[in-house]
A and B are shown apart, each in its own frame.
Chain A
């Protein structure tokens, strides 16, 4: 841990006045580069590889990924149950979106990329449906059940390519629905049709 004196020096450095250049309609501000202290020159033969070390540490966590994925699925099911019970409101919508969004972002890391694809499709419905109360309840339910099944039956259906097919079909149905209900909303149509910045695997 750093000493109090070091912390004080660091916070003092951060308050050093930045260089300010004034122009007609903007200022260019160059703050003092306090992070430069962390850069170190090493010999080209340096064998230390922090990325490899981190990948190894991540692999060490992989034994927990399946149980993490199950708990993410439970969270998604709970969020869906709240919507079935109370309908869509700001809180229930937000919880369902964040649960699906977390699976979308984390599933590939946890070894469940097809579950992530199905979760992405669900996120798109929540993001782009003009009125969530009018989304066919089965469309949402099928997404959630598919994600649960992909995780639960990971070792069987993923090998057979069923999981990929399931996610792909759900995405097709969801996209058809979204294109239809957004036919008069060009900004949403553009966003729905835009390619993802994450390359497909």
Chain B
């Protein structure tokens, strides 16, 4: 049986809503985290990301200046001087399938639809800590491997070529987003 030592992890929480930041801070501190930094907009979050080098980013989607999706895209710059690999958990009120796809394609690691629950947040953090996925760099994508299963029936146009790659069996981001409790 495994547990996470939250006191060894540094979090950056990005949400423009002070009530949600308070809830997130309360949950993370209850899990045992000591270092929780907070930003209320995307620009401040990016600055804090460079300064504090967080282990895990928890970002809202809808934020002023630039939103959580743009924040993810700015973090996922393969040639940046900062760390482009930090797990990004998108915590959002958006609950449409197309939004999950957009978040995935922006390089988001996990998607958690509100309403928030302690269990949902804990499971996402456990997932990014215990089961990190490799990153994929193509001409138009850089981020965590978007393949989560080995469906042989897939015939879509965007298969990668050039060899076999190991695929980590995980529930799809869509299935995981449905888990709210």
A residues apposed to B, CB below 8 Å: 1-2, 10-11, 14-15, 18, 21, 23-31, 33-44, 46, 48, 50-51, 53-58, 60-61, 68, 71-72, 94, 97-98, 101-102, 104-110, 116, 120, 123, 191, 194, 196-199
Of residues 23 through 67 on chain B, the ones whose CB sits less than 8 Å from some CB of chain A are 23, 26-27, 29-32, 34-35, 53, 55-56, 62-64
Q: Is the CB of B98 within 8 A of A106?
A: no
* A-B CB contacts (within 8 Å), total count: 186
Return chain B residues, CB-CB under 8 Å to A30: 134-135
- A55 and B120 CA atoms in complex are apart in Å by 11
Return chain B residues, CB-CB under 8 Å to A53: 30-31
Q: Is the CB of B134 within 8 A of A109?
A: no
Residue of A nearest to B135 (CB): A29
- A99 and B8 CA atoms in complex are apart in Å by 35
Interface size on B, residues (CB 8 A): 67
- CB-based closest 5 A-B pairs: A105-B93, A24-B162, A23-B162, A105-B114, A54-B118
Given contacts A26-B162, A105-B114, contact A98 B4 (CB under 8 A): no
Q: Is the CB of B53 within 8 A of A11?
A: yes
22 contacts between A and B (CB under 8 A): A2-B35, A29-B134, A31-B132, A33-B132, A34-B55, A35-B56, A39-B4, A40-B2, A40-B3, A43-B1, A54-B121, A60-B26, A72-B19, A101-B93, A101-B94, A106-B114, A107-B115, A109-B114, A194-B98, A197-B96, A197-B178, A198-B115
Residue of A nearest to B128 (CB): A35
- A197 and B6 CA atoms in complex are apart in Å by 29
Q: Is the CB of A28 within 8 A of B165?
A: yes
Is B16 on the interface with A (CB-CB < 8 A)?
Answer: yes
Is B174 on the interface with A (CB-CB < 8 A)?
Answer: yes
